[in-house]
Amino acid sequence: MLNMGFQDELNKILALLPLKRQNILLSATLSADLEQINRILLHDPVVIKIEAEEASLDLIRQIAYVVSAEKKGPFLRYLISHHEMKQVLVFASSVQQVDAIVNKLRKNNIEAKAVHSKKSQGARTDALTHFKSGKLKVLVATDLMARGIDVSYLPFVINYELPRSPKDYIHRIGRTGRADTPGDAISLVSESELHHFEVIQKKMGRKVELITKNLDEV
């Protein structure tokens, strides 16, 4: 709320509250602004910090295919069918792309749902519940799903598009390879994304097998 410019409004609300009260401050991060609020709101507080989860890449088999942007859709459908994927989380970089992928999958009789910021919380929860239970084969999402979502024993993650940040790439593929169970992370990389994928690999400290795939061969 502070980052969004609501500090004045927050101060007005605090001024209306009783002097004797219990305050609990919850935040994803502890910035300098929040430390200042801490001093105003809290008296001798107990601070509980949850350390960020370190993604382990050891159980994740990574592979990347060089696929032109216009062929990514057909190749995605080929991968799902060829590997007989029963549960796969697909990442794309925009709301519009997520919806387009879902619509195309459905037209090809592959059950899929979308999760992104334009969906209601109820719709997101419903899609995730069905996906976790195995009733939904494909969940297509923006980076909204890249952090803090735990799907036990998820076998496949596919990057339909690469994220801008190498950290987001690690968070994405970290949805698989959990609970001591191996998983596959597959990236579809167009020619224009090759340089960025090199940057991601360098930041990650790992090389990923890169395969040029002709759709006429599949």
Residue type, 29: T
Residue 152 predicted with pLDDT over 80: no
Report the pLDDT value the prediction gives residue 215, as an integer from 0 to 100: 63
Give the start-end residues of each E strand in the chain.
60-66, 88-91, 112-115, 138-141, 156-159, 183-189, 209-212
Element (H, E) at 119: none
pTM, 2 dp: 0.77
Report the pLDDT value the prediction gives residue 44, as an integer from 0 to 100: 79
What's the rounded Cα separation, in Å, for the pair 206 and 19?
A: 55
Calculate the average pLDDT of the chain. Answer: 87
Asked which of 11-15, 81-85, 106-110, 180-184 is least confident by mean pLDDT, the reply is 11-15
pLDDT above 90 coverage of the chain, percent? 59
The residue-averaged pLDDT of 5-14 equals 79
Residue 202 predicted with pLDDT over 70: yes
The residue-averaged pLDDT of 153-162 equals 95
Element (H, E) at 163: none
Q: Given 3.40.50.10860, 3.20.20.70, 3.40.50.1970, 3.40.50.300, which CATH number is that of 60-217?
A: 3.40.50.300
For the stretch 106-115, pLDDT in tens is 999 999 999 9
Domain spans in the chain, listed from the N-terminal domain onward: 7-41, 60-217
The half-sphere exposure of 169 on its side-chain side, counting CA atoms within 13 A, is 27
**Which pLDDT band, with edges at 50, 70 and 90, does 40 fall under?**
low
Residue 7 predicted with pLDDT over 70: yes
**Contacts with 22 (C-beta within 8 Å, 6 or more apart), sequence order:** none
139 within 8 A of 58, measured Cβ to Cβ: no
